[in-house]
A and B are shown apart, each in its own frame.
Chain A
Amino acid sequence: MAEFWQQVVAGLASGGIYASLALALVLIYRSTGVINFAQGEMATFATYLAWTFMHHGFSFWPAFFLTLVCAFAGGVAIERVVVRPVENRPVLTVVLVTIGLLVLINGLTSSIWGGAVRKFPSPFSTRPIHVAGVAFSIQDIGIIGVSLAAVLVLGAFFRFTKLGLALRAAAVNPGASRLVGVRVSWMLALGWGLASALGAVSGMMVAPVVFLDPNMMQGILLYAFAAAVLGGLDSPLGAVVGGLTLGVLLNLLGTYVSTLGGEMRLVAGLAVILAVLIVRPSGLLGKAAVRRV
């Protein structure tokens, strides 16, 4: 039983990472109706920035927050420059633009920092602590804590501030929001900025575990997609629930079903996406899309 709980906690740790990246995807999907395929690469780029700050003598937490600011500014800039001009074009055009960003940012990351795998310092020790005969790693608990804190701060921002209200309004009904004085197009840019910062959190949390390399987030992005789809693409709470569920589920499957270990986790993630899309396309907590034709 001890092993079981150990694996659940480890699963929650990876789930927290999936959840924050999934929430970033949901934020952008809700505000601009786009799935941002470049989300993972943006997170990787931000993580390399953090690495550079630390390389120049910053300690972890100052570098962490500095990176969040940079990621936020980068997200806003990308929305303004690249996404805004294609806002009202067909889905395919917008998807292709984010694919272009994926290729572009991935290329930039490799050319600036090189393709070599680097160690990324962890703010938490990997020492285990023992609770009731079960060994938990401090790092896992730290990752869960940071991811959930980021999600809670963001949730509070949306729930309790005027700007958060404006953001939600702009996503739900752009026309009416504009009438009451919300600057809708800047709200969209703000949404991209927040998503980018949230993605950076997931990048900096996962990097100590999987090591830093330019393709680090490609697999994670697949799990984040699976988490977002599982929870419902338009539901922020769903993304968090989906992320944690998926993390635990994949970890337990990997431990107890020997064929699903290692890289086969990716296939399991794919299976989750396909199964959810076929059985319940709106996800666990999403609203089914109703369309008048």
Chain B
Amino acid sequence: MSRPRHALRAAGVAALVVVAAVLPSFISDYHALEWATVGTYFIALLGLNVLTGYSGQISLGHGAFMAVGGYTSAILMAHHGVRDLWTIPLAGLVAGGAGLLFGLPALRLSGLYLALATFAVAVAFPALVKKFEHFTGGSMGLILNLPKAPGGLHLSSNDWLYYLSWGIGFALLGLGALVSRGRIGRSFRAIRDSEVAAASSGVSPAFYKTLAFGISAFYAGIGGSLVAIETAYVNPQTFPITLSLFLVVGVAVGGLGSLVGCIFGAALIEFLPTVAPDIARHAPSAIRDQVTPSVIQGLILVLVMLILPGGVAGLARLLENRALGPRFER
């Protein structure tokens, strides 16, 4: 990558980190909680992007991996009295393990078949949760302790949640960037672009495809764990099938293969329901009642795919090339 481009991107990420660090001082307590939720979606989207954007596998069931993480945290907190902070890495590991396990059958599936199998997982998962009522609380769910900043920190609980999710989010963004630039990321991309070519250059598709599922489920599990901690409550409806679909919308809008783009996708998922009524107000009166969040979300996904398949990140890249001249892809 050329030097000005590198500098531009580094500056962009640094600016993002600074904005994220000072944001809570400028927004209300309630908005801090909203942005904390954006952070959790961001983490899950990072994972989904590693899977779909880098290794080229489709998952329509990432909400289920979030649910695995969320329930791991919830069960540890409610039944075993573990402090919320310590359940986060465990939730990631359990979800990651589930991802590795699911990656094994997924090996034999490509493209459409994988989409289908993961969709089925997302639809069937709530039934499984209700089945193991003894652990999961069934449809009633589990009620958890309200989140509180650790003793030494003088933060409101919402600010604490904000810093917690974005701190973890940026750490995982860095980790994701490292992984995707190194040997693993190169292997993912090689498999995405041509499995046969990758295999003949000594990159094992089986190993890396499973690994991609594992990493991506690890991210989703951490995101799900934070959701459970933030809402202090889990039930099957915390992770509905629509969540899995919205995650896909978020990844596509943010831009496949762009980790920073996930921030836009995450903000879209969180704020579209609140912004939708404002959008509806500008719609012609005959169809005003029909402009609901999911209608807009569906429209956005279809339009982005038709007009701007690279999402927000693709648009940014386009503008960057305008300003700095085109570049050759590695």
Q: Give residues in A with beta carbon < 8 Å to B.
A: 34-35, 37, 82, 85-86, 89, 91-93, 95-97, 99-108, 110-112, 218-219, 221-222, 225-226, 229, 259, 262-267, 269-270, 273-274, 277-278, 281, 293
Contact = CB atoms under 8 A, between A and B. Distances in A.
B58 A104 contact: no
9 contacts: A91-B111, A96-B248, A96-B252, A100-B302, A102-B245, A221-B123, A222-B119, A277-B108, A277-B113
A55 B110 CA distance: 45
Contact of A100 (B60, B117, B120, B301): B301
A96 B301 contact: yes
B123 A218 contact: yes
B305 A103 contact: no
Interface of B: 52, 56, 58, 60, 105, 108-109, 111-113, 115-117, 119-121, 123-124, 126-128, 130-131, 196, 241-242, 245-246, 248-249, 252, 256, 289-302, 305-306, 309
B123 A266 contact: yes
Given A100-B299, A104-B297, 7 more contacts: A85-B306, A93-B309, A103-B246, A107-B294, A225-B120, A229-B113, A274-B105
Given A225-B116, A225-B119, A104 B305 contact: no
A37 B305 CA distance: 15
B290 A111 contact: yes
B27 to A, nearest CB: 29
Which 6 A-B pairs rank lowest in CB-CB distance, beginning with the nearest?
A104-B298, A107-B294, A100-B301, A103-B298, A107-B295, A263-B127
A99 B306 contact: no
Nearest to A82: B302
Given A218-B241, A278-B108, A110 B294 contact: yes
A37 B298 CA distance: 13
B120 A269 contact: yes
Given A92-B52, A225-B119, A274-B105, A107 B293 contact: yes
Q: Is the interface of B mostly helix, strand, loop or mixed?
A: helix
Contacts of B105: 274, 277-278
B131 A264 contact: yes
B292 A222 contact: no
Given A96-B301, A100-B298, A103-B301, A281 B108 contact: yes
B306 A97 contact: yes
A218 B126 CA distance: 13
B115 to A, nearest CB: 5
B88 to A, nearest CB: 28
A111 B294 CA distance: 9
A110 B302 contact: no
Find the residue from B58, B119, B131, B249 having the highest chain A CB count within 10 A.
B119
A32 to B, nearest CB: 11
Contacts of B256: 92
Contact of B120 (A85, A112, A222, A262): A222
Nearest to A33: B112
Nearest to B289: A111
Contacts of A281: 108-109, 113
Nearest to A97: B305
Nearest to B276: A107
A40 B157 CA distance: 42
A95 B299 contact: no
Contacts of A222: 119-120, 123-124
Contacts of B291: 111
A35 B294 contact: no
A107 B127 contact: no
Given A92-B58, A281-B109, A100 B123 contact: no
Given A95-B115, A97-B305, A112-B290, A269 B124 contact: yes
Contacts of A273: 116-117, 120
Contacts of A270: 120-121, 123-124
